[in-house]
Amino acid sequence: QVQVVESGGGLVQPGGSLRLSCAASGSIVNIYDMGWYRQAPGKQRELVAKITRGSSTNYADSVKGRFTISRDNAKNTVYLQMNTLKAEDTAVYYCNVYMKTTIGTLIDSWGQGTQVTVSS
């Protein structure tokens, strides 16, 4: 069994910063890609940022230069540092982890989501 748990969301003023964390635990052999997605009301879920085990990254154009994704492989944790936040960043942020389990299966696992609200 695998768990993916996010933390760090909240309410912040425009121009402010937040740091999201996501930890995977359980019957894990290896973690490959880790990523952050978001879904705003009435919109589809979209990729925000992704990082490979070797720390190659890619970002949505809308967050380039403002958000930074990083990971700690020893802790099975991925982070999203969000700076210069805008109202349009308001969404539920979901962590996604692609991993190999102890029974040999490859799975995509999602966290429960954490709300980020940017408002004055």
Amino acid in the structure at residue 15: G
d(CA 34, CA 64): 17
> What would the pLDDT profile of 79-106 be if each residue is shown by its tens digit?
999 999 999 999 999 999 999 999 999 9
Q: Which residues pair with 117 in a beta bridge?
A: 11
Q: Which backbone phi and psi does 89 adopt, to 5 degrees?
A: -85, -5
Does residue 4 contact residue 20 with C-beta atoms inside 8 Å? no
> What would the pLDDT profile of 7-35 be if each residue is shown by its tens digit?
999 999 999 999 999 999 999 999 999 99
Short-list 6, 95, 98, 20, CA closest to 52: 98
pLDDT of residue 42: 94
